[in-house]
Chains A and B, each alone.
Chain A
């Protein structure tokens, strides 16, 4: 059902706390007292502890598993292997991407860290003791480490479990118009190309993944407390995978210590814990260690991209070609819309009026952990945004046009919205030039360019990097979007109590985004009930409406819309009740937040609280009692938040170390429900961008050993390295969203890496450097400088 936007709602005073107020968070009260309720805090009577044994190498046949000694250790209740699961048809499970994935390995292990066996014990220390006693004999196989190796003819077959699979191809996908793009390239004066690897990263929320699985043998009820960003979808999948009746499954996602996409997939650990609880008849807790989290759960990115941008001599963009290979690991296990194998990568034309584009992508299986879509990527928009912004920056150098000027010349103009891109996206609204200009003015761009010139004369390296991104979020309309077949609507159930308080239940699930605070503000805005009188519930599938969960910045665009719509429906009903109380016709009533009054007679009024009470005590003839409803919102389109980031760096030419002197971030996410929370989201994303650009990645040696499976190797910046951010805003509402909001959760993670990297490249561009892949470590900067000074070609 489509909903056209209403005129903007009246703003509310602080006492009501509707949209636009930087309301302090209600969640904070429990968190600052250490009373958060995370999965590992949950203790149930009779609960057991599970630990998982994992493969030490990347590719090997399992010859034998001997669990006798482990099972005999006092305190061990069960040892689970793939063979045991296979007896219950649970050794393999479907993934959210339509593939299959091993729960516990039976024939082979296909990545270092893969789950091989599990111990359930009375005490977590004993469980880990027992892991040491499991004896597994492996027969090493040649590891396939890179996607290039995987796709080469004659490569060892990784997925020999899949019937009909003869190579390591995972998927192929294409978007855009090849003929039109070829024609555009034929006309070009200049073609700029870039080969870049967006390295493997990992969301690594500070709370690792885990669950407490409680299958009650007496009642047949399965309650699974789990770190889940999408509890309803998980419930349905559990029903399908475990064969448990869905009405007997309750997924409870309590407080989540960060998600960032890491808690969307269903991991083998959850399934094994549930199976163990079912078989043993007691609750089983499994909480993974950090090493397990990094080595086996859903990683992010790992896209090898070749991009070409065609332009005229005076900088008009004509066409874009992209050829990509994605490294998906051993199973295609991430969550993305079925129709889009490369996620929403084809947003790669970005903020520019690019008439022609063609994207070809190939996915490969490798002997590495499964994943790819995660870490605030908006379904691969991080990769796309990075590529186009790096290409545009390099094009500026090639053409001798200032990088800001080149962008301004090619931005989609305000009058072009809604804008249909060369790959079929319909951008809802945007005002790119104003945003970039504001950022440039704030950073003092022209004076910085002068300073850069002067500094170069002194041998100092100062760089200014720009990234002007357009995001696409809010998945999504039923025509194009489903995950594992389930359409990507979202829901809101609102009930107003007789005393005028309300409860809102959502299909989305916060992991720190503050929904308990912000979604109450949406209702407060529509109904005039003070936000503090509205409780928001999420995460328990037994008492929330079905939703697709929180990731890809979809909560505000979809769940927020559902909330506004149902609140308005309740207001419509409230008007009928008010009319009854005021003995007037409904069309003669006016509304201000929290109150109906008779037009022309402002003293003849009733509050929303009066109405709520009356809904139960004095409903009008023919009108159902109560004041509640549920709405499932099918978004008519995606939303397109955007922004421009400007980063100023200085590089120590002797060591290659660089630091951020300034970071100015202009974001436009449409209407901001809670500006304080929006800014917090941006701070977090800008930090993630800094992390990826400077230090944070997972890599592998030639044997497929994971380098980056702990925090000594996988580097998360501390407060000492992290730059300070200056935030700016413009507000360009989404015309199709009920409250004009677009969502903000991932913008900064999407847009900022290119800004940081462009800044470093910009500092070195005059020396001929055109690319350094992330993470841009001091060693890589130095190597790039060496490469150009030794004349061995561009960096």
Chain B
């Protein structure tokens, strides 16, 4: 019910924060929204020796689409994405996913980047970022690196991040050509983890054929799964119902769901098919309307 003891620092600048991570890296946790970390600490599943609270650091709460990317800074709260005109105009997969994350109160504090760094296998954002071909920007004292989302999460609750690194932003490329996307989530109630979640994103060429396809799935594998074969099968294809059905089948085959109280593996695979189809249909419709 109450966490174990820990030390706490609230640095005023990014450099200070990176200094602390550089020194105490192992067993130090970064506190942004805390909406995933603090519950684990209260149940004592996580017992970091120190928390580095980055909430006072200026310049990390940007949502910017002025160049080739939709950039979401480390302190952008889920609800800021929900209400962002910039996001809505730039990438609907991201825009549609935001209201599905947790509940409206948690969304006031929880952050997109924090969620990605936490790498909960039932987290929604990783699927969105995988489908959209995003990259994570991580900084340490000595410099910065860009990690493709496809390489970022390595295992359950585990990312490539080193103990002295901090995610400063996630960035989603802006695709040339009409794009559309969505996020569909089967949850039993607001705040539930997904039984199945599917992120889709399509870009069409001038002739209306698919030149970019992103499909990623939540809660049907050890971590979020990018349906690579399903995506490949769509490249060059017309966005037809048959193409979506085929993609759904391939995505379901790529999924590895478990039987649990939310449903059987067979059920979840079926919902993957349904959601991939519906998600692609919506993506295509939005792309054509763009």
Interface residues of A (CB under 8 A from B): 51, 124-125, 128-129, 132, 289, 654-657, 694-695, 699, 707, 712-713, 715-718, 720-721, 777-779, 782-783, 786
A712 CA to B2 CA, complexed, in Å: 18
- Is B59 an interface position by the 8 A CB rule? no
Instruction: Give min CB distance, B84 to chain A, whole Å.
Output: 22
Q: List 8 A-B contacts (CB under 8 A).
A: A124-B1, A694-B188, A715-B188, A720-B190, A721-B189, A778-B186, A782-B267, A783-B264
Interface pair B2/A778, CB less than 8 Å apart:
no
A716 CA to B103 CA, complexed, in Å: 13
CB within 8 Å of A: which B1-29 residues: 1-2, 4-5
Interface pair A129/B189, CB less than 8 Å apart:
no
Interface pair A655/B192, CB less than 8 Å apart:
no
Instruction: Give min CB distance, A202 to chain B, whole Å.
Output: 15
Instruction: Give min CB distance, A459 to chain B, whole Å.
Output: 14
Instruction: Give min CB distance, A708 to chain B, whole Å.
Output: 8
What chain A residues lie within 8 Å of B263 (beta carbons)? Answer: 777-779, 782
A695/B189 contact (C-beta < 8 A), A779-B195, A782-B270 known: yes
A132 CA to B103 CA, complexed, in Å: 32
Interface pair A655/B271, CB less than 8 Å apart:
yes
Q: Which residue in chain B gives the minimum CB-CB distance to A718?
A: B190
Q: Which residue in chain A gives the minimum CB-CB distance to B184?
A: A655
8 Å CB contact of A125 from B2, B190, B266: B2
Best-buried of B4, B189, B193, B262 by chain A (most CB within 10 Å)? B189
Q: Which residue in chain B gives the minimum CB-CB distance to A124?
A: B2
- Is B232 an interface position by the 8 A CB rule? no
CB within 8 Å of A: which B102-150 residues: 103
Instruction: Give min CB distance, B67 to chain A, whole Å.
Output: 37
Interface pair A717/B189, CB less than 8 Å apart:
yes
A715 CA to B271 CA, complexed, in Å: 21
A129 CA to B3 CA, complexed, in Å: 9
CB within 8 Å of A: which B21-45 residues: 44
A277 CA to B270 CA, complexed, in Å: 57
Interface pair A129/B193, CB less than 8 Å apart:
no
Instruction: Give min CB distance, B106 to chain A, whole Å.
Output: 12
- Is B261 an interface position by the 8 A CB rule? yes
What chain B residues lie within 8 Å of A699 (beta carbons)? Answer: 261
Interface pair A654/B264, CB less than 8 Å apart:
no
8 Å CB contact of B195 from A289, A712, A778: A778
A718 CA to B188 CA, complexed, in Å: 10
Instruction: Give min CB distance, B43 to chain A, whole Å.
Output: 8
A51 CA to B1 CA, complexed, in Å: 10
Interface pair A654/B189, CB less than 8 Å apart:
no
A657 CA to B192 CA, complexed, in Å: 15
What chain A residues lie within 8 Å of B191 (beta carbons)? Answer: 718
Interface pair A779/B190, CB less than 8 Å apart:
no
Could you give, for residues 239-269 of chain B, a 1 whenever the CB lies within 8 Å of some chain A CB and a 0 otherwise?
Answer: 0000000000000000000000111101100
A286 CA to B210 CA, complexed, in Å: 62
A546 CA to B193 CA, complexed, in Å: 47
What chain B residues lie within 8 Å of A720 (beta carbons)? Answer: 189-190
What chain B residues lie within 8 Å of A129 (beta carbons)? Answer: 4-5
Instruction: Give min CB distance, B184 to chain A, whole Å.
Output: 10
Interface pair B264/A779, CB less than 8 Å apart:
yes
What chain A residues lie within 8 Å of B264 (beta carbons)? Answer: 779, 783
A218 CA to B189 CA, complexed, in Å: 53
A654/B274 contact (C-beta < 8 A), A132-B44, A715-B188, A715-B189 known: yes
Interface pair A695/B188, CB less than 8 Å apart:
yes
What chain A residues lie within 8 Å of B266 (beta carbons)? Answer: 786
Interface pair A657/B2, CB less than 8 Å apart:
no
A779/B262 contact (C-beta < 8 A), A715-B188, A720-B189 known: yes
A779 CA to B103 CA, complexed, in Å: 23
What chain B residues lie within 8 Å of A657 (beta carbons)? Answer: 186
8 Å CB contact of B2 from A128, A656, A716, A718: A128
CB within 8 Å of A: which B157-202 residues: 186, 188-193, 195
8 Å CB contact of A715 from B5, B103, B192: B192
Q: Chain B interface secondary structure, helix, strand, loop or mixed?
A: loop
What chain A residues lie within 8 Å of B186 (beta carbons)? Answer: 655, 657, 778
Instruction: Give min CB distance, A425 to chain B, whole Å.
Output: 37
A777/B44 contact (C-beta < 8 A), A715-B188, A715-B189, A782-B267 known: no
A34 CA to B186 CA, complexed, in Å: 37
Q: Across chains A and B, which 9 residue pairs bring their CB atoms closest together, nearest first?
A: A779-B263, A779-B267, A654-B274, A125-B2, A289-B1, A718-B190, A695-B188, A128-B2, A720-B190
Interface pair A777/B262, CB less than 8 Å apart:
yes
What chain B residues lie within 8 Å of A718 (beta carbons)? Answer: 103, 189-191
8 Å CB contact of A783 from B261, B267, B271: B267
Best-buried of B1, B5, B192 by chain A (most CB within 10 Å)? B1
A716 CA to B191 CA, complexed, in Å: 10
Best-buried of A718, A777, A778 by chain B (most CB within 10 Å)? A778
A291 CA to B274 CA, complexed, in Å: 35
Instruction: Give min CB distance, B215 to chain A, whole Å.
Output: 18
Given A132-B44, A715-B188, output 4 extra A-B contacts at Cβ < 8 Å. Answer: A128-B1, A132-B4, A657-B186, A715-B189
8 Å CB contact of B261 from A707, A778, A786: A707
Instruction: Give min CB distance, A704 to chain B, whole Å.
Output: 16
Q: Which residue in chain A gives the minimum CB-CB distance to B268?
A: A779
What chain A residues lie within 8 Å of B44 (beta carbons)? Answer: 132
A655 CA to B185 CA, complexed, in Å: 11
What chain B residues lie within 8 Å of A694 (beta carbons)? Answer: 188
A713 CA to B189 CA, complexed, in Å: 11
What chain B residues lie within 8 Å of A289 (beta carbons)? Answer: 1
Interface pair B193/A712, CB less than 8 Å apart:
yes
Instruction: Give min CB distance, B180 to chain A, whole Å.
Output: 21
Instruction: Give min CB distance, A17 to chain B, whole Å.
Output: 38
Instruction: Give min CB distance, A204 to chain B, whole Å.
Output: 14
A657 CA to B44 CA, complexed, in Å: 35
What chain B residues lie within 8 Å of A778 (beta carbons)? Answer: 186, 188, 195, 263
A229 CA to B264 CA, complexed, in Å: 40
Instruction: Give min CB distance, B20 to chain A, whole Å.
Output: 24
A484 CA to B255 CA, complexed, in Å: 56
Instruction: Give min CB distance, A609 to chain B, whole Å.
Output: 50
A122 CA to B203 CA, complexed, in Å: 62
A777/B188 contact (C-beta < 8 A), A125-B2, A129-B4, A782-B267 known: yes
Q: Which residue in chain B gives the minimum CB-CB distance to A123?
A: B2
A786 CA to B267 CA, complexed, in Å: 10
What chain B residues lie within 8 Å of A128 (beta carbons)? Answer: 1-2
What chain B residues lie within 8 Å of A125 (beta carbons)? Answer: 2
Q: Which residue in chain A gives the minimum CB-CB distance to B191?
A: A718
Instruction: Give min CB distance, B217 to chain A, whole Å.
Output: 15
Q: Which residue in chain A gives the minimum CB-CB distance to B273?
A: A654
What chain A residues lie within 8 Å of B188 (beta carbons)? Answer: 694-695, 715, 777-778
What chain A residues lie within 8 Å of B193 (beta carbons)? Answer: 712
Instruction: Give min CB distance, B219 to chain A, whole Å.
Output: 13
Instruction: Give min CB distance, B265 to chain A, whole Å.
Output: 10
What chain B residues lie within 8 Å of A786 (beta carbons)? Answer: 266
A717 CA to B261 CA, complexed, in Å: 17
A694 CA to B4 CA, complexed, in Å: 37
Instruction: Give min CB distance, A101 to chain B, whole Å.
Output: 24
Instruction: Give min CB distance, B189 to chain A, whole Å.
Output: 5
What chain A residues lie within 8 Å of B262 (beta carbons)? Answer: 777, 779
A713/B261 contact (C-beta < 8 A), A654-B274, A695-B188, A718-B103 known: yes
Could you give, for residues 201-236 of chain B, a 1 whenever the CB lies within 8 Å of some chain A CB and a 0 otherwise?
Answer: 000000000000000000000000000000000000
A769 CA to B191 CA, complexed, in Å: 31
Instruction: Give min CB distance, B47 to chain A, whole Å.
Output: 10
What chain A residues lie within 8 Å of B2 (beta carbons)? Answer: 124-125, 128
Instruction: Give min CB distance, A690 to chain B, whole Å.
Output: 11
A694 CA to B188 CA, complexed, in Å: 8
A778 CA to B247 CA, complexed, in Å: 23
A777 CA to B267 CA, complexed, in Å: 11
Instruction: Give min CB distance, B260 to chain A, whole Å.
Output: 9
What chain A residues lie within 8 Å of B192 (beta carbons)? Answer: 712, 715
What chain A residues lie within 8 Å of B261 (beta carbons)? Answer: 699, 707, 713
